[in-house]
């Protein structure tokens, strides 16, 4: 039987290759997209899932009433929790220690090192490539490396037991490599290139210093729900005691609480993402699923259209006594053959397209990654294929053989309605995505061109890597840099706008009884002029360094000593506090009482998702005590002439005069700032690409259906022509149904697109109003394409041979 | 009304060239009921299609109402057709998606007749052919005889000067066939010119003149003494 099915399938393929070809092509495209996205989603969902202790590991977090989330913890809290909370089996903590500069065979490599407690590998049980997880982190001179970084440093050789010369915090150190752990196949947010023993510092002992990333491991069977409230109380009780204030007083100021979240939730579902962490994979999955559905619909539509040409075969088979089931099975068999073919081609396409997709998505996906959800992918594809096959099967098997054999077949109303509904669905979805792509593009253009409140063009910034030495001569360096040809202005800051704007401290700023969180910046006097940030009131700083005069201090109401200071704030902070005359107003923060000497305009520092945030600016702290309050970036404003030469000059100057032993790193502010919305840019590219693909697949289907429908109407056209219908009347008669379908689809699509676009735009603090153009352009584009495709078919119908179509059906 | 002079047509496929009509000359006067007879493949349908402006010819001349039809553009042929000619086919050629009423209405639509006027004329035609009660039905719901009556109604609704019938009784039983033939005779007696292709000499007996074709050549032409009287 299968033999006979196969024979018939192949002969039909030879006779009428158009339908199966279009069918398979559309399906191939759909499946390819779907698999690519599944690979991406698989990777995203696989973070930490390999960890056998996953269920028992949680990260402490701090939730603020205003929605802010901190994912770090005080060191003392972690230590105390382990002692006082019996639910904990273990606790670990880690933090970034700064960069280590390695000198490996004359090759300079600089990499950030993660300090950790020695139990890191109890929490993250990565397997070891070299060495074992025992006896690590005995002292600060021992390092564990990731396999990728070990390869960069040592190539393929086993480095365990080897020593390497390095510079850390400007001190030469010889490090001993004690282990290399494997990262590939173990997706995690925590895969530091270098692990070393955490250094005990005094900021570990303060209950208000949230500097460490901590993880708790619970005893199996712990009731997490009741632990959370206990945990918050534990923190409060310890903290108020350490601060030496009364319980009531502490509670009055409490506007946050401690909580925990599971390790497995960190990547996508952390509270820090505010419920939007999985948005990208959600949107992607939806897109991929829809594209698969659209190609399946094509499949169904084309199969039904094509199947009418098979009606006679089915009728004869039925007359000869085949059961309905067998006819359905035969069609499923044919569909399965086409689908298998499509899947095989798709896999090849995926392999070809994966590098491109990886660079678009900034990912490193591979077909054979162990966590890929192939079962899901094939399951969903299989299900859709089954539905796509069973539809035409049932449709055909329901034919009345007598009618078919007498020739009264081909114009079943129900089949037409089904086909039309599906085309409407396809067009509707395509239109929605086309419009959405336009809107996302508009918002991106807006973000690229909006006045940010500062100069982002021709602005170079260079991180200071060798703090201690560089800071000492910062003023001279600035002057000499300014003298270089092509350099206009030079300034320094701790917190440039762009991807680094999130780094740095926040603090409560208090004015009488009112208190708001504010972004804290240390800057020099050249910062605002260099960045083109406008001072709207008052004056700028006149010096770069704060000469802390310890004789000038004041006492606050609690009797604490506050150092006097001059500060500049932004408008948002003034608005929050409602200062009418901000200049001269004194606010307190950290250990300072700051007098406002100037107010600057708000500028967009962290991207377009968040609105303006209160900001406070002060001079750097003078003195040798640590990294706190010292410049971390040099901002260099270039003029437009020959940027390349200027850049070379700066590099030469930087690597010979300022930081000789360090690799020169730089970024351009506009590019860095664009990274803030690279995710949106990716979304735009994806939605545009996929919507074009969707339209292509839909039109492919439309083309086949139109040609089929028009063919079915050849006799009608011939009769009408005989009766004297004009060409205009005939063409209109043929295309009007399709135009109507397109218009219905567009009418449904417009409000949905409007709603979705509005939803998407709501997440931006700075956004466009929904433009009207996409709602006009997209329909026009789709109508034009539809009409073009159908016109071709209709015009073909006009040329038909009247006589033969009048005689025969 | 119709003058054919030395009209020829050949069909050519990749391999063979078939002469369908060879040097045909024929005259049809207004008010005539002409039957074209002959065996299968003698060219009678081709001749009818050329007269009906559905098909073109290679040489010779064809004047319809004293206007030369040779080399006419499709648009002008369509215009001529819809104003002057009604068709009745062996397989009825009704449009399945349209009701009886709508099928009959079509020629009027294409002739830009107003809606109210159309209604009067369609109803008149349906009444005349005794199919008013079927007006909302679709062709597939009708018997063959009824379908052909609808086709005849469609052919005459525009009051054409010429009705062309291609084996109108070929798909009908003798009772229904007779009805259709009687109908045509009646239309003829009311002034319509009719050309009918048939290979039944019984059917041809209803006509006033019989032309016999063989291999694309007119082999006989005789004036018919009506054998069947209309009561």
Give the angle subtended at the CA of B172 by the CAs of B166 and B175, to the nearest 5°.
Answer: 120
Q: A181 pairs with which residues across the strands?
A: A128, A146
- B14-71 pLDDT tens trace: 777 888 888 899 999 999 999 999 888 888 888 998 998 888 888 899 998 888 888 8
Residue reference for tokens 């700051």: A594
Domain ranges of chain A: 2-43+278-447+678-807, 67-222, 466-664
Residue A809 has pLDDT above 50, yes or no: no
Contacts with A704 (C-beta within 8 Å, 6 or more apart), sequence order: A18, A19, A22, A298, A301, A302, A305
In angstroms, the separation between the Cα of residue B208 and the nearest Cα of chain A is 26
Residue A788 has pLDDT above 80, yes or no: yes
Cβ of B87 within 8 Å of Cβ of A807? The answer is no
Quote the ipTM score: 0.83
Cβ of A724 within 8 Å of Cβ of B111? The answer is yes
Residue B227 has pLDDT above 80, yes or no: no
Cβ of A726 within 8 Å of Cβ of B89? The answer is no
Residue A681 has pLDDT above 70, yes or no: yes
Q: How far is residue B110's CA from residue A722's CA, in Å, rounded to a whole number?
A: 11
> Of the candidates A408, A411, A724, which has its C-beta nearest B78's C-beta?
A724
> Of the candidates A411, A719, A727, which has its C-beta nearest B93's C-beta?
A719
Burial environment of residue A670 by CB neighbours within 10 A (0 to 12, 13 to 18, 19 or more): middle
- Closest by CA to B48, choosing from B24, B67, B71, is B24
Cβ of B110 within 8 Å of Cβ of A807? The answer is no
Residue A315 has pLDDT above 80, yes or no: no
**Is there a contact between A274 and A13 (Cβ–Cβ < 8 Å)?**
no
A734 contacts in B (CB within 8 Å)?
Answer: none
Higher pLDDT, A427 or A280: A427
Residue A413 has pLDDT above 80, yes or no: no
What tokens does B117 get? 């006027």
A411 contacts in B (CB within 8 Å)?
Answer: 96-97
CATH superfamily placement of domain B2-94+159-223: P-loop containing nucleotide triphosphate hydrolases (3.40.50.300)
Domain ranges of chain B: 2-94+159-223
Cβ of B54 within 8 Å of Cβ of A806? The answer is yes
In angstroms, the separation between the Cα of residue A798 and the nearest Cα of chain B is 11
Cβ of A723 within 8 Å of Cβ of B107? The answer is yes
Cβ of B81 within 8 Å of Cβ of A724? The answer is yes
Chain B, nearest residue to A713 by Cα: B95
* Helix then strand then coil, % of chain B, to nearest 5: 35, 30, 35
> Of the candidates B94, B97, B110, which has its C-beta nearest A725's C-beta?
B110
Residue A522 has pLDDT above 60, yes or no: yes
Given this model, what pLDDT does residue A182 score?
Answer: 94
Q: Which of A37-46, A376-385, A410-419, A618-627 has the lowest mean pLDDT?
A: A410-419
In angstroms, the separation between the Cα of residue B221 and the nearest Cα of chain A is 26
Given this model, what pLDDT does residue B231 score?
Answer: 43
**For A555-564, which contacts have Cβ atoms below 8 Å and span 24 or more sequence positions?**
A556/A588, A556/A593, A560/A591, A561/A591, A562/A588, A562/A591, A562/A592, A562/A593, A563/A591, A563/A592, A563/A593, A564/A592, A564/A593, A564/A595
Chain A, nearest residue to B112 by Cα: A725
Higher pLDDT, A202 or B87: B87
Chain B, nearest residue to A799 by Cα: B74
Q: How far is residue A646's CA from residue A482's CA, in Å, rounded to a whole number?
A: 11
In angstroms, the separation between the Cα of residue B190 and the nearest Cα of chain A is 22
Cβ of B75 within 8 Å of Cβ of A411? The answer is no
Cβ of A803 within 8 Å of Cβ of B55? The answer is yes
Residue A400 has pLDDT above 90, yes or no: no
Confidence of residue A143 (pLDDT cuts 50, 70, 90): very high
In angstroms, the separation between the Cα of residue B95 and the nearest Cα of chain A is 6
Q: What one-character-per-residue DSSP string does A264-326 give?
A: GGHHHH-GGGTT-TTHHHHHHHHHHHHHHHHHHHHHHHHHHHHHHTTHHHHHHHHHTT--HHH
> Of the candidates B81, B97, B111, which has its C-beta nearest A411's C-beta?
B97
In angstroms, the separation between the Cα of residue B79 and the nearest Cα of chain A is 6
Q: How far is CA A787 from the centre of its chain?
A: 38
A733 contacts in B (CB within 8 Å)?
Answer: none
A20-42: average pLDDT? 88
Q: Which of A272-276, A448-452, A554-558, B88-92 has the lowest mean pLDDT?
A: A554-558
> Of the candidates A725, A726, A806, which has its C-beta nearest B93's C-beta?
A806
In angstroms, the separation between the Cα of residue A408 and the nearest Cα of chain B is 8
A449-463: average pLDDT? 90
- A171-207 pLDDT tens trace: 889 999 999 999 988 999 999 999 999 987 767 788 8
In angstroms, the separation between the Cα of residue A695 and the nearest Cα of chain B is 31
Cα dihedral A770, A773, A775, A778, rounded to 10, equals: -130
Cβ of A715 within 8 Å of Cβ of B54? The answer is no
B117-146: average pLDDT? 90
Q: How far is residue A778's CA from residue A786's CA, in Å, rounded to a whole number?
A: 12
> Of the candidates B49, B75, B106, which has its C-beta nearest A720's C-beta?
B106
**Is there a contact between A54 and A262 (Cβ–Cβ < 8 Å)?**
yes
Given this model, what pLDDT does residue A133 score?
Answer: 87
Rounded to two decimals, what is the model's pTM? 0.76
**Is there a contact between B216 and B24 (Cβ–Cβ < 8 Å)?**
yes
A719 contacts in B (CB within 8 Å)?
Answer: 93-95
Cβ of B89 within 8 Å of Cβ of A716? The answer is no
Burial environment of residue B134 by CB neighbours within 10 A (0 to 12, 13 to 18, 19 or more): buried
């Amino acid at each position: 039987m299968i033999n006979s099915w196969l024979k018939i399938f192949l002969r039909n393929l030879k006779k009428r290759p158009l339908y199966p070809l279009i069918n398979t092509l559309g399906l191939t495209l759909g499946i390819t997209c779907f698999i690519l996205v599944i690979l991406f989603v698989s990777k995203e969902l696989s973070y930490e899932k390999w960890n056998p202790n996953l269920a028992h590991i949680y990260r402490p977090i701090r939730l603020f009433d205003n929605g802010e989330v901190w994912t770090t913890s005080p060191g003392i809290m972690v230590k105390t929790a382990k002692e006082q909370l019996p639910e904990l089996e273990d606790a670990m903590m880690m933090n970034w220690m700064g960069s280590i500069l390695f000198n490996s065979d004359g090759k300079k490599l600089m990499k950030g090192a993660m300090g950790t407690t020695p139990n890191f590998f109890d929490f993250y049980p990565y397997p070891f490539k070299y060495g074992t997880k025992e006896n690590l982190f005995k002292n600060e001179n021992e390092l564990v490396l990731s396999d990728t970084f070990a390869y960069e440093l040592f190539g393929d050789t086993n480095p365990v037991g080897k020593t390497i010369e390095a510079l850390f915090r400007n001190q030469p150190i010889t490090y001993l490599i004690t282990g290399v752990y494997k990262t590939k196949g173990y997706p995690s947010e925590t895969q530091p290139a270098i692990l070393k023993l955490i250094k005990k510092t005094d900021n570990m002992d303060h209950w208000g210093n949230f500097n460490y990333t901590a993880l708790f491991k619970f005893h199996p069977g712990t009731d997490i729900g009741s632990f959370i409230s206990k945990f918050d109380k534990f923190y409060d009780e310890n903290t108020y005691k350490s601060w030496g204030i009364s319980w009531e007083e502490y509670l009055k100021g409490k506007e946050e609480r401690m909580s925990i979240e599971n390790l497995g939730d960190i990547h996508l579902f952390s509270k820090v993402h505010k419920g939007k962490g999985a948005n990208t994979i959600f949107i992607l999955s939806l897109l991929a699923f829809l594209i698969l559905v659209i190609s399946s619909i094509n499949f169904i539509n084309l199969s039904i259209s094509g199947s009418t040409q098979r009606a006679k075969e089915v009728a004869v088979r039925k007359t000869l006594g085949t059961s309905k089931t067998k006819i359905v099975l035969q069609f499923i068999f044919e569909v399965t053959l086409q689908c298998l073919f499509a899947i095989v081609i798709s896999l090849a396409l995926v392999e070809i397209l994966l590098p491109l997709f990886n660079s678009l998505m900034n990912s490193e996906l591979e077909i054979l990654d162990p966590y890929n959800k192939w079962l899901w992918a094939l399951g969903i594809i299989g299900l859709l294929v089954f539905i796509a096959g069973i539809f035409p099967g049932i449709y055909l098997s329901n034919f009345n053989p007598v009618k078919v054999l007498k020739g009264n077949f081909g114009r079943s109303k129900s089949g037409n309605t089904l086909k039309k509904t599906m085309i409407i669905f396809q067009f509707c979805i395509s239109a929605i995505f086309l419009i959405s792509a336009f809107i996302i593009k508009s918002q991106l253009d807006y973000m690229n061109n909006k006045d940010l409140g500062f100069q982002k063009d021709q602005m170079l910034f260079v991180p200071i890597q060798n703090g201690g030495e560089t800071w000492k001569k910062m003023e001279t360096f600035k002057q000499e840099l300014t003298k270089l040809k092509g350099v206009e202005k030079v300034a320094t800051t701790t917190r440039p706008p762009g991807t680094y704007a999130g780094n740095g401290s926040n603090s409560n700023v208090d004015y009488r009884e009112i208190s708001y969180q504010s972004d804290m910046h240390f800057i020099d006097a050249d910062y605002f002029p260099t960045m083109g940030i406008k001072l709207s009131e008052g004056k700028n700083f006149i010096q770069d360094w704060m000469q802390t005069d310890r004789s000038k201090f004041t006492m606050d109401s609690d009797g604490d000593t506050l150092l006097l200071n001059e500060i500049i704030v932004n408008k948002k902070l003034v608005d929050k506090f409602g200062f009418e005359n901000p200049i001269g107003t004194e606010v307190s923060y950290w250990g300072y009482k700051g007098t406002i000497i100037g107010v600057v305009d708000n500028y967009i520092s962290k991207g377009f998702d968040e609105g303006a945030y209160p900001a406070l600016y002060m001079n750097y702290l003078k003195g040798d005590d640590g990294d706190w309050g010292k410049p971390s970036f040099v901002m260099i404003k270039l003029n437009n002439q020959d940027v390349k030469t200027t850049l070379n000059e700066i590099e030469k100057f930087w690597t010979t005069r300022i930081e000789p032993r360090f690799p020169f790193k730089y970024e351009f502010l506009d590019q860095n700032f664009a990274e803030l919305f690279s995710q949106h840019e990716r979304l735009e590219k994806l939605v545009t690409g996929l919507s074009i693909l969707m339209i292509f697949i839909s039109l492919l289907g439309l083309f086949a259906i139109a040609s089929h429908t028009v063919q079915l109407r050849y006799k009608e056209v011939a009769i009408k022509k005989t009766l004297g219908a004009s060409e205009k009347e005939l063409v209109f008669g043929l295309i009007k149904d399709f135009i109507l379908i397109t218009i219905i689809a567009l009418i449904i699509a417009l409000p949905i697109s409007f709603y979705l676009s509005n939803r998407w735009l709501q997440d931006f603090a700075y956004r466009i109003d929904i433009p009207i153009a996409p709602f006009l352009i997209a329909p026009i584009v789709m109508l034009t394409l539809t009409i073009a495709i159908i016109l071709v078919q209709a015009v073909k119908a006009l040329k038909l041979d009247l006589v033969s179509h009048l005689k025969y059906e | 009304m119709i003058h054919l002079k030395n009209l020829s047509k050949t069909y050519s496929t990749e391999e063979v060239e078939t002469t369908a009509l060879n040097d045909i000359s024929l005259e049809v006067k207004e008010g005539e009921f002409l039957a074209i007879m002959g065996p299968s493949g003698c060219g009678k349908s081709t001749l009818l299609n050329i007269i009906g402006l559905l098909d073109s010819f290679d040489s010779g001349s064809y004047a319809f109402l004293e206007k030369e039809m040779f080399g006419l553009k499709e648009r002008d042929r369509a215009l001529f057709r819809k104003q002057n000619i009604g068709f009745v086919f062996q397989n009825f050629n009704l449009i399945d998606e349209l009701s009886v009423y709508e099928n009959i209405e079509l020629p009027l639509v294409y002739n830009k007749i107003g809606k109210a006027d159309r209604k009067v004329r369609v109803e008149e035609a349906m009444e005349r052919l005794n199919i008013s009660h079927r007006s909302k039905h679709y062709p597939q719901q009708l018997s063959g005889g009824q379908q052909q009556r609808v086709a005849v109604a469609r052919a005459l609704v525009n009051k054409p000067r010429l009705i062309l019938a291609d084996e109108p009784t070929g798909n009908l039983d003798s009772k229904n066939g007779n009805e259709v033939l009687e109908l045509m005779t009646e239309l003829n007696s009311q002034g319509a010119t009719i050309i009918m292709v048939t290979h039944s000499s019984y059917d041809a007996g209803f006509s006033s003149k019989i032309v016999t074709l063989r291999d694309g050549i007119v082999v006989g032409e005789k004036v018919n003494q009506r054998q069947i009287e209309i009561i």
